[in-house]
Amino acid sequence: ALRLAAVCDLGGNDAATLAPTGVSNLVPDTLAPKLVAAATSADGLSLVLTYDEALDAVNPPTAARFAVTVDGVDVDVTGVAVDGDHVVLTLATAVGYGQSVRLDYVDPSGGNDPNAIQDAAGNDAAGLTQAAVNNLVPDNIAPTLLRAETSLGGDAVVLVYDEDLDGGSAPVAGDFVLRVNNAEVAIAGVQISGSTVILRLDDALAHGAVISIDYIDPTPGNDGQAIQDFAG
């Protein structure tokens, strides 16, 4: 009779049928960790590098392997910690809102090293040159008045600030006191356009008039109607 081939020993004893069985993968890990993201902490005191796998926390790189610039100025790295797939760099000076952050990292050698960004198998991550770091420090800087001037036609007073303002939360006319030659003048309307606050007047101002403006912020906190940036 025809007998199909089977897994058997030399005595012809067949091995049992296998249900789905896990197989040990003995192929060694030779893939280096890859950088996924680089960002500041919200307080700007550290940089967090995120890799695509867990890293060796026992043999972290030294601070001397890193160079950080903020708006082109060198900032010292005072500490390095590895936690899971993160490398956390402590900075000597906090990064501010809107500043440009760049990072260099020098891998000690072309091989696997005792102190480097590496996975548990000892595969070193590649070095970094002027890598961009996402600045996550929130905007907590209030708009600053640059100048106050009339329109050329004299039908408005224009306040110019140093950043774009939130047109959806414009202040009301009652938040301002406009004086012309020491007499109060009514404000017909308030408009936000880009970085300017435009106070519309019913009567045009005359050449040579002495003009002053007061503005009262509604509360010490951020308000629904105020001169404010888009961060509130």
Q: Which of 34, 38, 66 is nearest to 51 (CA)?
A: 34
For the segment 180-193, what is each residue's pLDDT rounded down to a tens digit?
Answer: 999 999 999 999 99
Low-confidence residues in the chain, pLDDT < 50: 1-2
Q: Measured between alpha carbons, how far is 79 from 46 in angstroms, rounded to an integer?
A: 9
84: left (phi over 0), alpha (psi -120 to 50) or beta: left
User: What pLDDT is recorded for position 3?
Assistant: 52
Q: What is the percent of the chain where pLDDT is above 70?
A: 98
Q: Measured between alpha carbons, how far is 156 from 178 in angstroms, rounded to an integer?
A: 11
Bridge-partner residues for 197, per DSSP?
159, 192
SS3 175: helix
For the segment 89-102, what is each residue's pLDDT rounded down to a tens digit?
Answer: 999 999 999 999 99
Q: Measured between alpha carbons, how far is 148 from 213 in angstroms, rounded to an integer?
A: 8
